[in-house]
Structure 1
């Protein structure tokens, strides 16, 4: 495991970073914002009960759960889970307990529903 990943997982290296609003009760820390054709890389922090409404992936999305549990219609993903969402797939995302994830998007997602069901 690369040292930077180990620090994020075991040392909570993300805890001292500044986060800004992203969606209701979800905050973001951009590691690398979208620029041209370059993917966006960020940390997302979900408060307990927070979520992101149904959306479509316009490019590949990869997620590493650093803390807590992130859920979608396919299941629950705990700390250390690695999730890949292919272009064209759709889902909603939430966290009953709160979580922090490292995420990379090839392209921004398209929100399909503004409110969680």
Structure 2
């Protein structure tokens, strides 16, 4: 199998993978890190109540929700939802329940507003 293959993600295969810290309350498993102008592909695992502050998409972002519910200002997205965020769009993201998403970024996002401590 190619190094970038991950088994059974839609049926919980992500539970066997190692995750590192991405942001407070959000862990990451890189499938394909950003390198040599290639998009980044990862799994993000949100704890219940986790948030990502308002940010701008510097390129296309594609998200597939695998478990739980991810939310933004436009709505709530459960398992199987596909979310497309186009270049130059902005939003914040949260998960009240916790969730796991498969995400691809053409470019890293630009954080516009950090959470206040």
Q: TM-score, length-normalised on structure 2? A: 0.92
- Residues 17-70 of structure 1 deviation map (CA, whole Å, 9 limit, x = unaligned): 000000011000000000021000000000000010000000000000000000
- 1:32 paired with 2:53, answer no
Give the match's secondary structure for 2:10. helix
How many residues align? The count is 112
The 1-side partners of 2:10 and 2:30 are apart by 18
The 2-side partners of 1:6 and 1:77 are apart by 23
- 1:7 paired with 2:8, answer yes
- Residues 53-101 of structure 1 deviation map (CA, whole Å, 9 limit, x = unaligned): 0000000000000000000000000000000000000000000000000
**Unaligned residue ranges in structure 2 (runs of 5+):** none
**Unaligned residue ranges in structure 1 (runs of 5+):** none
**Ranges of 4+ aligned residues in structure 1 off by more than 4 Å:** none
- What residue in structure 2 maps to residue 92 of structure 1? 92
Q: TM-score, length-normalised on structure 1? A: 0.92
- What residue in structure 2 maps to residue 46 of structure 1? 46
